Amino acid sequence: MRNFSSCCIKQEFLKKWIKGLQVCNSSTTCSKNKMTNLDRKKAIKLSADIAMASTRNGTTRWSNAVIANATHSNGDNNRIFFERILGGGDGGGRHCPEHCGRTKASRSVSSVMHKKILKKSRRVCSRTVLGRKHNLAKTHSIAKKLVRKKTQVLKSLVPGGESMDELSLVVETLDYIVSLRTQVEVMRCLATTAELINGT
């Protein structure tokens, strides 16, 4: 993660998530309608997603996509909910420049990935050809198909991934995975604490 320690991220996520749950709870106690279990589940997920994305302060594309999807999916209700969690605005309106510039480190990661995919495609090709001489064009074709297929799957998994190039997609995916892991660790810790308090 960029510019954050794991402990700070967990604390920031927990603080925003608890605030989101409080906002959700206060909005249900003010309204006359009781929340169903499905509504409660959606509210918990929404507050967790917004808290996770807002800890990144608009520095990643996936966090901007999560916030945009959350605020536009249910109209004004989610927008009001989002503003109450963060105290107004869209996370401070801080957006960093795009991560499109290729650095030496990113090129080396990219080249290592391409080499691994090429080796895998050669193995696949060698299994299908069985004893014939390897055709380099066919190997490259298989490698390109594998890369395209894996890239499309990854783009569908990462919020906002459809509009990213391959290098940005890898960088954003790594950041998204770390954020998801942090979210799971905090939720697991909170669930364990709740079980200990309730004595179950």
Alpha-carbon gap, residue 102 to 13, rounded angstroms: 30
pLDDT one digit per residue (tens) for the chain, 200 residues: 444 567 888 888 888 888 888 887 776 655 656 778 888 888 888 888 888 888 888 788 998 888 888 777 666 666 666 777 666 544 344 333 333 333 444 445 556 666 666 666 666 655 555 545 556 777 888 888 998 999 999 999 999 999 898 889 999 999 999 999 999 999 999 889 888 998 76
The verdict on pTM exceeding 0.85 is no
Contact 67, 90 (CB under 8 A): yes
Alpha-carbon gap, residue 138 to 129, rounded angstroms: 10
Which token pair is 41?
């589940």
The residues near 66 (Cβ < 8 Å, ≥ 6 apart) are 49, 50, 52, 53, 159, 160
What pLDDT, in 10s, does the model give residues 6-18? 788 888 888 888 8
Asked whether the CA dihedral 65, 31, 195, 10 is positive or negative, the reply is: positive
What confidence score (pLDDT) does residue 181 get?
A: 92
